[in-house]
Amino acid sequence: MKRIFLTAAALLSTLSLAAPIPVKAENSAPIRRLLQTRECFGCNLTGANLKGAHLIGVDLRNANLKAANLEGANLEGADLTGANLKSANLTEAFVSGTTLNNANLTNADLSDAHLYNADVGGAVLAGIDLSGADVFNTAISVGGEY
């Protein structure tokens, strides 16, 4: 019995000394902050991988999400006022009741996204991809003059 105890203690000691695998993402602290506190006002989340994240009601005002991966993310009720979403991947994202006032969505991929009641007043929408997107009660128009 003593031998089993000593073997288990030695094994546990070895495991506790193992170093954790470091997160190499440059913006891992802001991502942790966002996921823990649900707010990240003015954060630098450039290139962040938030694929499939539940970002319901988060505060991302003035955040830099340039080239971020938000594929399949749930942004219901999120506030992205003034956020930089240039070249962001929002494929299959759920954008319902989301505030995107004065946001930069230049070249953002919104293909197969669900945009319901999103507020895009003053947003830059040049070059966005809406292929297969569901757009309802959101002031996005495609084409030339009215």
pLDDT tens-place string over residues 8-26 = 444 333 333 333 323 334 5
Q: What percent of the chain has pLDDT over 70?
A: 77
Q: What percent of the chain has pLDDT over 90?
A: 75
Residue 73 covered by a domain: yes
Query: Which residue has better confidence, 79 or 35?
Result: 79
Taking 3-state DSSP, the helix, strand and coil percentages for the chain, each rounded to the nearest 5, stand at: 20, 20, 65
* Residues near 129 by beta carbon (within 8 Å), at least 6 away in sequence: 108, 109, 110, 111
Residue 89 covered by a domain: yes
* Residues near 103 by beta carbon (within 8 Å), at least 6 away in sequence: 80, 81, 82, 83, 84, 85, 120, 123, 124
Residue 36 covered by a domain: no
Residue 16 covered by a domain: no
* Residues near 56 by beta carbon (within 8 Å), at least 6 away in sequence: 74, 75, 76, 77, 78
Indicate which CATH number applies to the domain containing 116. 2.160.20.80
Residue 6 covered by a domain: no
The predicted structure's pLDDT at residue 28? 87
Q: Which domain holds residue 111?
A: 48-140
Residue 111 covered by a domain: yes
Residue 14 covered by a domain: no
Residue 9 covered by a domain: no
Q: Element (H or E) spanning 4, and its range?
A: helix 2-17
Query: Which residue has better confidence, 68 or 12?
Result: 68
The predicted structure's pLDDT at residue 36? 93
User: What is the per-residue pLDDT across 80-127, written as a single tens digit (0 to 9) for each?
Assistant: 999 999 999 999 999 999 999 999 999 999 999 999 999 999 999 999
CA end-to-end span of the chain: 84
Summarize the confidence of residues 41-66 as an average pLDDT.
97
Tally of domains within the chain: 1
